[in-house]
Structure 1
Amino acid sequence: MSYALLIAAWIMYFFLHSFLATDKVKSKFPGSARNYRLLYSAFSTVALLLLLFYNAWIGGDRLFGRSDFLKYISLFLAGGGVLIINAAFRNYSARAFLGLTEEPDQGLVTSGINAWVRHPLYSGTILITLGFFLFDPRAATLISVACVWIYLLIGIRLEERKLILRYGKAYEKYREEVAAIIPFLL
């Protein structure tokens, strides 16, 4: 039952995360885009923390043993993910992402880490979640990681639709030339 609830909670989280990010919902929000983004970021963060606490609360046996080597690998992967996300925020305003400032219209960004992958935040998330699973190899963690990865695949499609509408042929050309999440592969 705990695993089913965990899956249902992830589905609800991702549904709300995507639904609340639509232009239709944003346009109906009273107040500025900045205030909307701040509330959206606060909701996303609190809900994510609740999911992670529930994941930890479920407990359960490890699917395989943990060695010091595996701990270092997991921390290396998660740390690499954090570095990739940090590099992505060099191209974007982290303050605007969180809703602390207005989001500047800077056009299609294809430099920096975006020259290697189109969705560096997703690339970093994959490494962080893989590291999380290797650090805590329980069924609940595997389920959480699988839910995140499935959502990322869906999220890429949703995001790319918006980007094509916004940037048109320029984005389509960029999409042909640059991998989505893993340089030169995917």
Structure 2
Amino acid sequence: MSRTATLIFALVAYAIFFATFLYLICFVGDLAIAKRTVDRGPDGPVAVAVIVNLALIALFGLQHSVMARPAFKARWTKIVPPPAERSVYVLAASLALIVLFTLWRPIPQTLWDVSGTLLALPLWLAFAAGWGIVLVSTFLLNHFELFGLQQAWFNFSGRTADKPQLRQPLFYKWVAHPIYSGFFLAFWAIPQMTIGHLLLAVGMSAYMLIGIRHEERDLTNYYGDDYQAYRAGVGKLVPRFRRRAS
């Protein structure tokens, strides 16, 4: 793949990701601008819906976790050019979500509904804050490297990326995984909770907790004692604000 083709591919993959991310917000929030959401779609037997939905969550979780592991990357980059590897991962994750949007079966029975009460606004604000934390946290790390654009641009321009450093900007001073924290808020802070939404929230939460274990193991292998010292001084998902050693 030429440098120009790699850059074009990275831009297309990023555009698909960003559109998918915006739709995910609408999907999870059951927002009216989306035709298909967690609570709106084809009717069917509850047992079938549970099986299909769990399979869709598992598909996303497996793709997201397996392709992120260093051992997989080492083998995968023998097939995919290294500058395009992250973009392929981003595209695969987007496609897994698109499949989930398309095949998801709502289970509309309501578990709680505080719409129209004083609790609705705080929950919607928490929902919005969750997505905001996710997006801001990607920029605190390196948004364009995280989604493959930097690798393709450096390859195109002949630049070499600096060695990754263990940094703690803003949220990362108090919590190790603010991206996951934001997703927890986004999936759970909702005025109306249906059985289908609960299944999505529980499934994605389970995936994230498993993913955190693998991610921390990989970071410890890469950064060693520095990462262990950092993790000892911050919360995992809930901020720890007490003073810690640098």
Q: Would you say same fold, with TM above 0.5? A: yes
Once residues 126 and 50 of structure 1 are traced to their aligned partners in structure 2, the CA distance between those partners, rounded to angstroms, is 21
Counterpart of 1:67?
Answer: 115
**Conserved? CA contact 1:81–1:126, under 8 Å:** yes
**Conserved? CA contact 1:91–1:109, under 8 Å:** no
| CA distance 1:46–1:98, shift in 2 (3 Å) | same
Candidates 101, 106, 110, aligned match of 2:150: 101
Say yes or no: does 1:25 pair with 2:72. yes
Say yes or no: does 1:79 pair with 2:99. no
Candidates 85, 90, 93, aligned match of 1:36: 85
SS at match of 1:45: helix
Amino acid at match of 1:125: F
Once residues 142 and 222 of structure 2 are traced to their aligned partners in structure 1, the CA distance between those partners, rounded to angstroms, is 18
1:2-48 Cα deviation digits (max 9, x unpaired): 11221122122212211111222222232433311111111112212
1:96-151 Cα deviation digits (max 9, x unpaired): 111112275331112321001101110111111112xx244111110110011111
Say yes or no: does 1:119 pair with 2:177. yes
SS at match of 1:109: coil
TM-score, reference length from structure 2: 0.67
TM-score, reference length from structure 1: 0.87
SS at match of 1:137: strand
**Conserved? CA contact 2:115–2:191, under 8 Å:** no
| CA distance 1:34–1:125, shift in 2 (3 Å) | farther
1:66-99 Cα deviation digits (max 9, x unpaired): 4134442332112111221233123222111111
Tell me the C-alpha RMSD between the 2 structures: 2.0
Alignment of 1:1-186 (within 5 A): 1-29=48-76, 30-55=79-104, 57-69=105-117, 70-102=119-151, 104-131=162-189, 134-184=190-240
* Higher relative helix content: 1
| CA distance 1:160–1:151, shift in 2 (3 Å) | same
Amino acid at match of 2:56: A
Aligned length: 182
SS at match of 1:110: coil
**Conserved? CA contact 2:181–2:237, under 8 Å:** yes
SS at match of 1:64: strand
Greater C-alpha radius of gyration: 2
| CA distance 1:82–1:58, shift in 2 (3 Å) | closer
Once residues 80 and 199 of structure 2 are traced to their aligned partners in structure 1, the CA distance between those partners, rounded to angstroms, is 38
Identity of aligned residues (%): 24
**Conserved? CA contact 1:78–1:128, under 8 Å:** yes
Amino acid at match of 1:67: S
Query: Could you list the runs of 5+ residues in structure 2 that have no partner in the other structure?
Result: 1-47, 152-160, 242-246
**Conserved? CA contact 1:87–1:113, under 8 Å:** no
